[in-house]
Structure 1
Amino acid sequence: MANKTTPLSDTEIKKAKPREKEYILADGRGLSLRVKPNGSKNWIFNYKPPFAKKRTNMGFGAYPEVTLAQARTKREEARQLLAQEIDPKEHKQATYAQKDAERNNTFEKIAAEWLEVKRPSVTEGHVISTWNSLKLHIFPEIGDYPINKITAQKAISVLKPIAAKGNLETVRRLCQRINEIMVFSVNTGLAEHNPLAGIGKAFSAPKKQNMTTIRPEELPGLMRSINRASIKFVTRCLIEWQLHTLSRPSEAAGARWEEIDFEEKLWVIPAERMKKRRIHSIPLTPQTLAILEELKPISRHREYLFPSDRNPRTHINAQTANMAIKRMGYEKKLVAHGLRALGSTTLNEQGFDCDLIEAALAHVDKNEVRAAYNRSDYVRRRIPMMEWWSEHIEKCATNVTPIMNTTFSRSTETN
């Protein structure tokens, strides 16, 4: 019959003195106290791991930091794991690894990983604006939080001050981005669920606002304003280029000479520069080709059609046209993006095929098969429409000398 171990007492442990050699004080059921020659006392749990032949030790910490009662609790927890055929040492290591991952997998870190995965499907400008919005509004408050520790209450508290200022559109976009990050964390196994799925409902929805634009009958007045405005020649060209091509401000400002196919008379914008990440071809009219001829002496030897004034190696700012239009007296009446709406309204009123208009605006056809089939055909069919639009712009500039026939004093004009 095996000898029964007498459980230890606090008094016995306190009185245990160091010896020349390490020795053991057993408490029973695998728990013992190891006393070293230097006087340190450490708890040891000896056990046989599941599916293993040899016994092993597991440390429970040092005495008196870990009391006798606490050591016994740890022993019982370990024995319960063993009863489930779980190695307590491996379980402890896995728990530590999980907690370490939680500390390292912060909201900001996961947001960066999410945006990197998203990058190929959006424009670089979108990537920059998304990161800047998170950096400004979200990271200062919860950037260092472990991704699986963020609650709906915490996220809402971060967004409330923004909503209080009336920036409901900013709140809407932030809610969308935060949720995409949380879904990404769930899909990559970093979080079990997304507790922020409904935070958008905690705020009023922003009023939908269309891009500020003018009516078609106001185009002649706009052309007179463009002609008389005290703006730089390149800025003037940019506004007319965007108007004629119906391109977005960022697409027009970032236009490269290598994108111009003079032989086919096309402006081919690569997918990475387009909002929907699809190549977009725009037929060039005599008027747009004339604008290019005016730009050749200025920038043909450079990369971009519209070089920046401060750094000609890069392109003009996408907001330059917008600011120029504002200074012309069109504040709250027209924005650069609204030139597209102006063109769309005019072309629709003239009875042009709505599919061709949508294609000209680079709006994605929901019917993927039809879109792929009609892409090349749409470019050919859009030529007469784009030529009519350019001629219409020219007619609206009655008594206004168009860009291609004007000699500008480029050195004295201001931005």
Structure 2
Amino acid sequence: MPLTDTKIKALKPRGKAYQEADEGGLFIEVSPVGLKTWRLRYRMGGRGAKQEKVTLGEYPAYGLGEARAWREDSKGLAARGISPMALKRGDAVPADLPPASKELAARYLKNWCQKAVAKVREQEAQLQHENSVAVFAWRWFEEIAEPSNSNPRNVRRVLEKDVIPAIGVKQVSEVTVEDILAITDRIKARGADQMALQTRNVLKRLFAYAIARQKTQFNPAAAIEARFIAQARSRDVALTPEEVGQLLRGIYQSSMKRAHKLALHLLILCMVRKTELVHARWEELDLEKAEWNIPLERMKKDRAHFVPLSRQAVAMFEELKSLSCGSDWVFPSRISLNQPISQSTLNVAVRALELDVREFVIHDFRRTASTLLHEAGFNSDWIEKSLAHEQKGIRGVYNKAQYAEQRRDMLQWWADFVDSQIDEGRKVIIGRFGKTYQAA
């Protein structure tokens, strides 16, 4: 499908650059910091000839209509044997060209090459200037945040996902309280209040460093009290067995989508993080072997993680396979089968529940499982490995065991235990993977 302005404006940065095609070789490239650049692929001699690629400049400096006009001019040059890439590079126009071709080349140079080079240089100078937020933030990350933080990947994600795309091209001294609030409000709008608070805290440290380096005299993030963004939640919430049963009965009796009910149940059974589940692909799962292998690039600590699956978990994934409509994702978005549900989907679903259960967040499922398994007497090493926690110190260096069979038995016990908590005197049909619970 050809591009539209609406679609282009909706393109968001990702961990690495990606492309969205228009027509006739024209495409827009989105960088990890959110810059959108027009480029064109063409061939000088028809099929089989070497492909060339030339750049126009950034959107919205060049609109969609301008980019398409540039595409037609570029392809017109190529059809006459004149390389747009060579003209952009500054090569001289061949002297033996026919007058009409020389005129076209001269017009192309004036209308596109000279203007594009000037704009690109201007934008690059702005972005690379040492006082821009993008440049200074990465300097702070490399010099201060990464060496001193036990989990620098979280800080990197904050910068890449929410800070740089929003204010990366601004000068550090020009960032206002309104800019910080705009960032945290967007994060809260996707149902991630605690992430909004974490982002404010990262920015507070970033601008404290900027003041120390005399790049600004004001810390706009520190001017916003944390309580005005979100209330910090206790990090020691662990649901009781009775609350686990109440929660799952409430989930299955709610009106949320079946796939979302299964997702929340799987989060409890598999002890994985929310992002590890919602971004799961079918290629990671071997349901015949009852195994889930999460690749290292999707893990918080950049280490691959093996999850033995209980009988209940396998049955849930089998049902999800039929619900995924052939998507590569276990939980495809309702908008497109080519992308997963958003990070906020399950948070929103949980907040809509009316439960007589104390306040909790989805991440507390992992703490709940850890607490109840420890209370049941299971080996701490097995539990920590199931949580993808790595031991520190000498013990961590030498203990690389996966405890695969022990964890398989433990997670099966855990799934059966969770089933028993659902059976609390109320008839609850949760699906073919479970059973019908009758009143006592």
Fold-level similarity (TM above 0.5): yes
Q: Among 277, 298, 311, which residue is 1:286 paired with?
A: 311
- Shift of residue 208, structure 1, vs aligned partner: 6.5
Cα 1:406–1:126 change in 2 (3 A) is farther
CA contact (8 A) 2:278 2:331 kept: yes
SS of equivalent to 2:432: helix
CA contact (8 A) 1:213 1:335 kept: no
SS of equivalent to 1:329: coil
Aligned to 2:201: 172
Aligned to 2:390: 364
Tell me whether 1:235 sits opposite 2:260 in the alignment.
yes
SS of equivalent to 1:268: strand
Cα 1:128–1:204 change in 2 (3 A) is closer
CA contact (8 A) 1:133 1:174 kept: no
Q: Among 261, 268, 272, which residue is 1:247 paired with?
A: 272
- State how far apart, in whole Å, the 1-side matches of 2:127 and 2:409 are: 60
SS of equivalent to 1:352: coil
- State how far apart, in whole Å, the 1-side matches of 2:160 and 2:180 are: 16
- Shift of residue 268, structure 1, vs aligned partner: 1.1
- Shift of residue 216, structure 1, vs aligned partner: 2.5
Letter in 2 for 1:234: A
Alignment of 1:62-77 (within 5 A): none
SS of equivalent to 1:388: helix
Aligned to 1:129: 158
CA contact (8 A) 1:258 1:303 kept: yes
Alignment of 1:304-315 (within 5 A): 304-315=329-340
Aligned to 1:316: 341
Cα 1:276–1:377 change in 2 (3 A) is closer
| TM value normalised by structure 1 | 0.56
Cα 1:280–1:122 change in 2 (3 A) is farther
CA deviations on 1:31-50 (whole Å, 9 max, x unpaired) are xxxxxxxxxxxxxxxxxxxx
SS of equivalent to 2:293: strand
Tell me whether 1:143 sits opposite 2:170 in the alignment.
yes
CA contact (8 A) 2:127 2:135 kept: no
CA contact (8 A) 2:238 2:368 kept: yes
- State how far apart, in whole Å, the 1-side matches of 2:434 and 2:183 are: 48
CA contact (8 A) 1:213 1:333 kept: no
Q: Among 362, 372, 378, which residue is 1:346 paired with?
A: 372
CA contact (8 A) 2:237 2:368 kept: no
CA deviations on 1:125-180 (whole Å, 9 max, x unpaired) are 8655334543598x48x9314xxxx79xx9999989999xxx87554322344568
Q: Among 400, 409, 413, which residue is 1:388 paired with?
A: 413
| TM value normalised by structure 2 | 0.53
Cα 1:162–1:241 change in 2 (3 A) is closer
The higher-RCO structure (CA 8 Å, 6+ apart) is 1
Tell me whether 1:336 sits opposite 2:362 in the alignment.
yes
SS of equivalent to 1:287: helix
Aligned-residue identity in percent? 26
CA deviations on 1:93-133 (whole Å, 9 max, x unpaired) are xxxxxxx99992223241465599799x976x865533454
- State how far apart, in whole Å, the 1-side matches of 2:283 and 2:414 are: 25
Aligned to 2:78: none
Cα 1:113–1:207 change in 2 (3 A) is closer
Letter in 2 for 1:404: R
- State how far apart, in whole Å, the 1-side matches of 2:368 and 2:254 are: 20
- Shift of residue 320, structure 1, vs aligned partner: 1.7
- State how far apart, in whole Å, the 1-side matches of 2:127 and 2:239 are: 53
Cα 1:313–1:136 change in 2 (3 A) is closer
- Shift of residue 244, structure 1, vs aligned partner: 0.8
Cα 1:224–1:293 change in 2 (3 A) is same
Runs of 4 or more off by more than 6 Å in structure 1?
100-103, 115-119, 154-163, 191-197, 202-206
SS of equivalent to 1:281: strand
CA contact (8 A) 1:244 1:390 kept: yes
- Shift of residue 215, structure 1, vs aligned partner: 2.3
Aligned to 2:429: 401
Letter in 2 for 1:304: W
CA contact (8 A) 1:211 1:337 kept: no
- Shift of residue 229, structure 1, vs aligned partner: 0.7
CA contact (8 A) 1:249 1:319 kept: no
Tell me whether 1:299 sits opposite 2:332 in the alignment.
no
Aligned to 2:39: none
- Shift of residue 345, structure 1, vs aligned partner: 1.7
Q: Which has the larger radius of gyration?
A: 1
Cα 1:326–1:168 change in 2 (3 A) is closer
Unmatched 5+ stretches in structure 2 = 1-124, 185-195, 436-440
SS of equivalent to 2:329: coil
CA contact (8 A) 2:284 2:292 kept: yes
- State how far apart, in whole Å, the 2-side matches of 1:299 and 1:161 are: 35
SS of equivalent to 1:272: helix
